Structure 1
């Protein structure tokens, strides 16, 4: 597997938790892991890192999103798009493991193409690109 798969698993987990407040991280993550034949330990660790980081920084991340997507209320954004952007902003602004902005944006756009609507990739790219351009993220 790869970091891409770890991001995919983190997205699936955050999405579940976003729509089911009764589910906690571990059960949600175990459900996601069970859908894959093999999950490398390093991928589990990175997925957990992304989920914990995004959850712990959620208020700050959502404030960044609200500022960048001024025409969209966060709760009105499609859940997949919202959680892809949350993960990307976590990686760009808060993660202890630096990843170049271009890589983070590309990975987020690829997730949006795979899991979102036909407009998701453009939406995700627009928000993240604006944040990088305006130096809202490193």
Structure 2
């Protein structure tokens, strides 16, 4: 059984994916059908809103960590997983190893077979630079 936090992160990823594919409309339009009935939904909406309002700063953190990749070359799902994790690393809501493990799990579930290693390789130096590891 998955922890509520894991389910909330997965739901936030789905919300942000829809938001990204729809051309980044007002996030309220995307979450309207989701509802806030459960704790996971409410947590997912809060997390998605926090990430959506801070995309530029989060993408900048990722861009500094990927020396040989232009950020736009990173797949949409991987980019969203990285944004979610970098947000959590910056706000310190969970220990860095937990944040990284959860991001790897999301990449494994929602992205391609190489995504977990890529996500780990990007998040580790970010966490170290932020003094979280």
TM-score range normalised by the length of the shorter chain: 0.7 to 0.9
CA contact (8 A) 1:92 1:137 kept: no
- Provide structure 1 residue ranges, at least 5 long, that are not aligned to the other structure: none
Measure, in 2, the Cα distance between the counterparts of 1:88 and 1:51: 11
Matches within 5 A, 1:60-99: 60-94=57-91, 98-99=93-94
Other structure's SS at 1:117 match: coil
Q: Which residue of 2 aligns with 1:128?
A: 123
Aligned-pair distance for 1:40? 5.6
What does residue 11 of structure 1 align with? Answer: 13
Q: Given the alignment of the two structures, is residue 103 of structure 1 paired with residue 105 of structure 2, yes or no?
A: no
**Cα distance in structure 1, aligned partners of 2:18 and 2:119:** 19
CA–CA distance in 2 between the matches of 1:81 and 1:30?
A: 24
Which ranges of 4 or more aligned residues in structure 1 deviate by more than 3 Å? Answer: none
| Cα distance change of structure 1 residues 86 and 137 upon mapping to structure 2, 3 Å threshold | farther
Residues of 1 paired with 2:114 and 2:16: CA distance? 20
Quick one: distance in 2 between partners of 1:76 and 1:22? Answer: 18
- 1:50-84 per-residue CA deviation (whole Å, 9 max, x = no partner) reads 11111121111111000001211121110000000
TM-score after normalising by structure 1: 0.84
Aligned length: 130
Q: Partners in 1 of 2:45 and 2:30 — Cα distance?
A: 11
CA RMSD across the alignment: 2.0
Contact 1:8 1:111 in 2 (8 A): yes
Secondary structure at 1:85's aligned position in 2?
A: helix
Q: Is the 8 A contact 1:53 1:94 kept in 2?
A: no
